[in-house]
Amino acid sequence: MSNEMISSTADTNILPVSESGEIVFERVSKSFTTNTNPAVDQVSVKIPAGDLVVLLGPSGCGKTTLLKMVNRLYEPDSGKIWMGGKEIHTLPVNELRRQIGYVIQQVGLFPHMTIQKNISIVPHLLGWEEKQIIDRLEMLMQLIGLPVSYLPRYPRQLSGGEQQRVGLARALAADPEILLMDEPFAAVDAINRERLQSELIDLHGKLNKTILFVTHDVEEAFRLATKIIVMRAGKLVQYGTPLELVTQPENEFIEDLLGSSNILRKLSLVNVNSILKARKNQSIFTGGSQPVERPGTVLHPEDDLRSVVSLLLCSGRDSLPVKDSENHLLGTVGYSDLREMLISNLPSE
Amino acid sequence: MELLQDAFQYYINNQSFFWNATRQHLVLSSFAMVISLLIALPIGIWIAKRTGIAQVVINIFNAFRVVPSLAILFLALPYLGLGFFPSLIALTVLAFPPVLINTYTGIRGVDAFTIEAATGMGMTKTQVMTKIEIPLAIPAIVTGIRIASVEVISSATLASFIGGGGLGDFITRGFALYDVPIMLVGAIPVALLALSSESFWSLFLRRYQVPEN
């Protein structure tokens, strides 16, 4: 039953009018002369405005190539790419790039420029006025949680995590509709990476930008994504929400990627929020009807289901309330949800 | 000690000759440096994006490097004659390789990710070159200039052999007369000039360098 529900909701995302942050790939292919197999092979996909879509796959699967075709660092051999209803090749290349925020793996901050200069590059290229740039700088520093006193410093004087935040601020400087992020947290240590991931989720919630995020890290993909595109050997294998991928893997490749034979591993990939969202889509949202507020264990939307299991076991209850950071009750999640999710994924024998 | 006193005495007696020679030395060295920078810097920047041509150009200039500076002076002699001009040519050629090669490697050495970030942000090729690549290559380029300037200042003494003047005149004269104090009047200022040029560029680099931590 839930299978039908989920697939039908996926279709409703296709809007008749394209918003400015929407990206559409139409049978896009790209080969490199050094390799006979195409790096990207006939990929068609629509990225709705305001979504955080993760491109996931092993190295060499074409995810970075696909990303770099959006800001035309690579040109497709065939196919078309649309951004907000405009074919990207109709725009002058540098004009296009200045409309897109770009964050890369090695941060790519310019070591000879202060933080201030680094962040204000694109506004300068766009010819903003100095006053406007200063205001924007203050706002951005606040957004990424760094003090304004950092502005005259050089990138080398900042920690890796701080540099990555500045990289994000630089990408957001000219307020682009679209952010491209190419394995931005790969070079950051595990603790900082998790912190940066949470901050990105927060930021995405606040700013409503379309984010296209490349990673080979399955956990990272499932933590961040509203939708995931799984790629393999240049082809799109599956496109869906984290919950859809876990409950309805398209083929063995996806199952292997997620380690789907291991139930606990699978639970660790899905968070409370996806359960709440899926339930909302099924319009049998019952969460609000739980007014009894007992003190004790509370779940958070970003908790993964594996820790939910352990919290449920520890609390001895059948379900636990979910609250957001402002302590609003969002609903409840319990054993029944987990069971339902797992049942929907039983091998069809 | 006595040698130094004798040398100082010689300087006192020949002050106008000494300062004239020093001026010649400086003019020769700095002209040679300026001309070689005007030629080698643009070539270095231009070949940095053209690996194929770069190898050929660098090999040609490296070949010049193998030829001793004295030999370049005497090779210039039959074609350019005696005096200031052939000395200038020889010293200019001498300064080429370090400037050219350091410019080339400095620009090539800029992190590919940095350039990709700049391009991806919408900078034009010229903007990437002038705002990112050249500023980041400055330490390497200045090191090349430093090496070249020391080489040029010390080799300018040889200009005296083909009548180019400079502090080398004292060295050749002292050598001919077998008079060590006269040689010192030429050698000590040359050494001081080379050292001060070296320290000038080192200081320049230290000021340019981005602070660490």
Residues of B in contact with A170 (CB under 8 A): 121
A46 burial (CB, 10 Å; 0-12 / 13-18 / 19+) is middle
Spell out the domain ranges in chain A: 14-261, 265-283+297-343
CB contact (8 A) between residue B132 and residue A102: no
Q: Report CA B211 to chain centroid distance, whole Å.
A: 28
Cβ contact, residue pair B124, A111, below 8 Å: no
CA-CA distances (angstroms) from residue A231 to A43, A56, A183?
Answer: 9, 6, 15
Query: CA-CA distance, B48 to B14, in Å (whole number)?
Result: 49
Which residues sit opposite A321 in a β-bridge?
Answer: A332
Determine contact: B124 vs chain A, CB below 8 A: yes
Average pLDDT over residues A60-89: 90
How much is the pLDDT for A343?
A: 66
Residue A7: pLDDT band by 50, 70, 90 thresholds? very low
pLDDT of residue B158: 86
**Which spans in chain B are helix H?**
2-13, 15-48, 51-66, 69-80, 84-108, 112-120, 125-127, 134-155, 168-177, 180-208
pLDDT digit string, tens, across residues A230-241: 999 888 999 998
Residue of A nearest to B128 (CA): A110
- Percent of chain A surpassing pLDDT 70: 87
d(CA A196, CA A176): 20
pLDDT at position A294? 55
**What is the pLDDT at residue A347?**
46
- Domain positions in chain B: 2-208
Supply the pLDDT for residue A190: 84
Q: Are B137 and B109 in contact (CB under 8 A)?
A: yes
CB B193 within 8 A of CB B25: yes
Question: Which residues have a Cβ under 8 Å from the Cβ of A266 and sit 6 or more positions away?
Answer: A246, A258, A259, A260, A345
Report the top-level CATH class of B2-208: mainly alpha
pLDDT at residue A13 is higher than 70: no
pLDDT at A85 over 90: no
In the chain, the amino acid numbered A299 is: L
The pLDDT > 90 percentage for chain A reads 32
Assess B178–A contact: CB distance below 8 Å, yes or no. no
Please indicate whether, in this complex, the C-beta atoms of B114 and A110 are within 8 angstroms of each other. Answer: yes
The partner residue sitting opposite B122, judged by closest CB among A94, A112, A157, is A94
**Residues on chain B touching A72 (C-beta within 8 angstroms):** none
| Average pLDDT over every residue of A15-24 | 68
Is there a common fold for A14-261 and A265-283+297-343?
A: no
User: Tokens at residue A50, please?
Assistant: 């305001």
Q: Residues of A with CB below 8 A from B127's CB? A: 125
Please give the CATH topology (third level) of the domain spanning A14-261.
Rossmann fold (3.40.50)
Tokens 């076991």: give the residue. A313
Residues 6+ apart with CB under 8 A from A129: none
Residue A11: is it exposed, middle or buried by C-beta count within 10 angstroms (0-12/13-18/19+)? exposed
The yes-or-no verdict on residue A287 having pLDDT over 60 is no
Q: Which amino acid is at B121?
A: M
The nearest CA of chain A is from the CA of B49 a distance in Å of: 17
Quote the minimal CA–CA distance from A170 to chain B in Å. 9
**Of residues A24, A217, A270, A228, the one with CA closest to residue A105:** A217
List C-alpha distances in Å: A305 to A341, B50, B200.
11, 55, 65
Chain A residues within 8 A (CB-CB) of chain B? 68, 71, 73, 94-98, 102, 104-106, 108-112, 121-122, 125, 154, 156-157, 170, 180
Query: Quick check: B120 and A104 CB within 8 A?
Result: yes
Q: Is the dihedral of CA A126, A128, A130, A135 positive or negative?
A: negative
In this complex, the residue of A110, A157, A170 whose CB is nearest that of residue B132 is: A110
Residue B26, pLDDT score: 94
Selected residue of A106, A118, A158, A159 to mutate for chain B interface (largest B Cβ count, 10 A): A106
What is the enclosing helix (H) or strand (E) of A174?
A: none
Q: Which fold has domain A265-283+297-343?
A: CBS-domain (3.10.580)
Q: Inter-chain contact B122–A122, Cβ cutoff 8 Å?
A: yes
- Choose, out of A64, A71, A94, A166, the residue to mutate when testing the contact with B (most B CBs < 10 Å): A94
User: In this structure, are residues A64 and A32 in contact, taking their beta carbons and an 8 Å threshold?
Assistant: no
Which residue did the predictor score with more confidence, A8 or B21?
Answer: B21
pLDDT tens digits for A322-336?
888 788 888 888 888
Asked if A227 and A278 count as a contact pair (C-beta separation under 8 A), the reply is no
Picking from A110, A118, A172 by the largest number of B CB atoms within 10 A of its own CB, the best residue to mutate is A110
Per-residue confidence (pLDDT) for residue A256, from 0 to 100: 82
Provide the pLDDT for residue B133: 94
Residue of B nearest to A101 (CA): B121
| Structure confidence at residue B107 (pLDDT) | 94
CB B54 within 8 A of CB B43: no
The reply to whether residue A154 touches residue B211, judged by beta carbons under 8 angstroms, is yes
Question: Which parts of chain B register pLDDT below 50?
Answer: none
Mean pLDDT rounded to a whole number for chain B: 88
Place of tokens 């352990």: A310
| CB contact (8 A) between residue B113 and residue A108 | yes
Round to whole Å and give the CA distance between A187 and A164. 10
| Inter-chain Cβ pairs, chain A and chain B, closer than 8 A | 63
Helix (H) or strand (E) holding A261: none
Q: In this structure, are strands A52-56 and A210-215 parallel, antiparallel, or unpaired? A: parallel
Q: What is the pLDDT of residue A282?
A: 58
Q: How far is A153 from chain B (nearest CA, A)?
A: 9
CB B76 within 8 A of CB B59: no
A96 contact residues in B (CB cutoff 8 A): 122
- For the residues A159-180, what does the mean pLDDT come to? 90
Please tell me the distance in Å from A143's CA to the nearest CA on chain B.
Answer: 20
How much is the pLDDT for A336? 83
* ipTM value greater than 0.85: no
Q: How far is A308 from chain B (nearest CA, A)?
A: 40
Kindly state the average pLDDT of the residues A44-64: 90
Q: Identify the closest residue of chain B to A71 by CA–CA distance.
A: B120
Tell me the CA distances in angstroms from A94 to A209, A334, B116, one per residue in order: 20, 51, 13
- The residue of chain B with its CA nearest to that of A180 is B120
Q: With a cut of 60, say whether residue A160 has pLDDT above it.
A: yes
pLDDT value, residue A208? 84
Mutant choice from B107, B111, B121 vs A, greatest count of A C-beta within 10 A: B121
The yes-or-no verdict on residue A228 having pLDDT over 90 is yes
Cα distances (angstroms) measured from residue A17 to each of A13, A22, A44, B27, B51:
11, 10, 18, 72, 48
Query: Is the pTM above the cut of 0.80?
Result: no
Chain B residue with Cα closest to A157: B213
* pLDDT for residue B206: 87
Cross-chain CB nearest to A102 (options B121, B136, B213):
B121
Nearest to A108 among B117, B124, B210 (CB): B117
Nearest partner of A122 among A85, A82, A71, A80, judged by Cα = A71
CB contact under 8 Å between B123 and A71, yes or no, is no
Residue A345 in this model has a pLDDT that exceeds 80: no
Q: Judge: B120–A71 Cβ closer than 8 Å, yes or no.
A: yes
Q: What is the pLDDT of residue A74?
A: 92
